[in-house]
Amino acid sequence: MARKAYEVVGRPVFVADTGFYIEDYPNNPNYPGAFVKRSGVSSNIDNLLEVMKNVTNRACKFVDCLTFYDGNDFYTFYGESKGTLSLSIRGNIERKAMSNLWSVFIPLNHDKTLAEMTDYERDHRHDGHTSATDEFINWYENIYFKKNNKILKLN
């Protein structure tokens, strides 16, 4: 995808995507994975909760991936947020929500879903989560920029 995007815009690009993995999804561990949108899981939370109603291990995680392509090399970064699947839909999905799954995802060391948390709580949660975007920014500012001694302008 990054190569195709580069061919279209003719400049360095990055592409990003996120998967959602449910450890003990019945008959399909770690489902839906990278195909969360295509699977329909994020658009039918009621069905997801019905399928998971008798599952005791509700461990799940978001994994995000960002790939930067400068026309020569690919650089890939990952982030992860572990948690558990709630027993019911909780909180309000706002426009800034990355997914409807925020209403059923409880980050580790917390008792609220992402949808129940305030912006401050989400930004300052203590669940050990990492961000592919943050990893990319750190790498770009501290390694790539210094190595190439220039800022890439994308407009």
pLDDT along the chain (155 residues), means of 10: 92 92 96 90 94 97 94 94 97 81 96 94 90 90 68 49
pTM over the 0.85 mark: no
**Cα separation values, 43 from 25, 57, 111, Å:** 17, 22, 23
Q: What are phi and psi of 56, to 5 degrees?
A: -85, -40
CB 80 within 8 Å of CB 61: yes
Residue 135's Cβ-count burial label (10 Å; 0-12, 13-18, 19+) is middle
Q: Please name the residues in contact with 42: beta carbons below 8 A apart, sequence gap of 6 or more.
A: 20, 36, 99, 100, 101
Say if residues 60 and 105 touch (Cβ distance below 8 Å): yes
Question: What pLDDT score was predicted for residue 155?
Answer: 44
pLDDT given at position 28: 94
